[in-house]
Amino acid sequence: GILGELPDDVFVAAWAGSFNTWCDVDLLFDGVDSAMAENPSLHLLVTGGEVEGHDSVTWRRFLDLVEGSRQRDRYHLLGRVEDSVLAEVYRRSDVGLVVEKDLYERQLGAENRVVQWMAHGVPVLTTYRSPAGRDLVQRGLSFAITGRSAEGLAESLLALVDDPARLAAASLACTREAREAW
């Protein structure tokens, strides 16, 4: 599988779950691709895909962007995966990504995928549109994408790549929060 093909010394940012209408794929792609251009150790691991019967446009847009990337060999698109593979994705990920559009759904929504990341000790880099997302950023349990822009995503991601101690501390805090609070 692809996880076995990822070298141990690369930095893995990850997306888990569907690409729904709230996902800002242009911001996600532009930020990650720009960061990849600056740091060749950065890879993106993606599970999930389209929301059948609801939204196939968002996923298709992301696929088209990846196909046109000079770094496309560092995008690992796994699609929907079994729980055992998802557990391995969590284990291999350095940071999870949640990149949202500014929609009412996000302002009122929950952070279920963030809870899953945290339960596995994976801190999240997010646009923090929901109240839960803002709370997690304020408490240092998630990282904010600077300016909620592609440039900010690239800068924020590269800063985390360069600061393994900060990531390790956040990972421990996420694990503790998940165990104690949830």
> What integer is the mean pLDDT of 53-68?
92
User: Is there a contact between 10 and 131 (Cβ–Cβ < 8 Å)?
Assistant: no
What whole-number distance in Å separates Cα of residue 154 and Cα of residue 146?
A: 9
pLDDT over threshold 60, residue 72: yes
pLDDT of residue 111: 64
pTM strictly above 0.85: yes
Output phi, psi for 46, to 5 deg: -125, 125
pLDDT at 113: 78
Q: What is the pLDDT of residues 121-145, one digit of tens each?
A: 999 998 877 777 788 889 888 999 9
At 89, the pLDDT band (50, 70, 90 cuts) reads very high
Please tell me the number of Cα atoms within 13 Å of 18 on its side-chain side. Answer: 12
Mean pLDDT of 20-42: 94
User: Which of the residue ranges 8-17, 32-41, 102-111 has the most confident prediction, judged by mean pLDDT?
Assistant: 32-41
Q: What is the mean pLDDT of residues 149-174?
A: 95
pLDDT range class, residue 182, cuts 50, 70, 90: confident
Structure token digits, residue 74: 């560092």
The mean pLDDT value of the chain amounts to 88
Please state the rounded mean pLDDT for residues 2-26. 87
Residue 153 in tokens: 């995503």
